[in-house]
Amino acid sequence: MEMAEYIERSAAIKAAKHAWAKGLEPSQYIEALPAADVAPVVYGRWGTYRFNLETGNYEKQCTRCRNFSQEYGKPYCPNCGAKMDGGDKDDR
């Protein structure tokens, strides 16, 4: 599967304005812009919890990567980076 290419909105607007000012077609200016460095956003939730006898801490499981973490108060999973904000359902 081929990844989509993304460009920064402000760069596209600037390129289009530059082309229009010269009376040119903006598409070639926009196509010449470099792709932005982006990554897909994945979502998860803090699910099942357990008590870790080795550390003496409570841990919760990320529904995305299934790893347990004691950092379950954070808005993301420290193992897989899933956002824990109740957004789109990417849970497996």
How far is residue 6's CA from residue 12's CA, in Å, rounded to a whole number?
10
**For the chain, domain boundaries:** 1-38, 41-92
Whether residue 61 is predicted with pLDDT greater than 90 in this model: the reply is: yes
pLDDT value at residue 72: 82
pLDDT value at residue 92: 52
- In this prediction, residues 69-75 reach a mean pLDDT of 86
Q: What is the pLDDT of residues 49-59, one digit of tens each?
A: 899 899 898 99
How far is residue 16's CA from residue 32's CA, in Å, rounded to a whole number?
11
Residue 68: strand pairing partners: 61
Whether residue 90 is predicted with pLDDT greater than 70 in this model: the reply is: no
Residue 28 binned pLDDT confidence (cut-offs 50, 70, 90): confident
How far is residue 44's CA from residue 34's CA, in Å, rounded to a whole number?
31
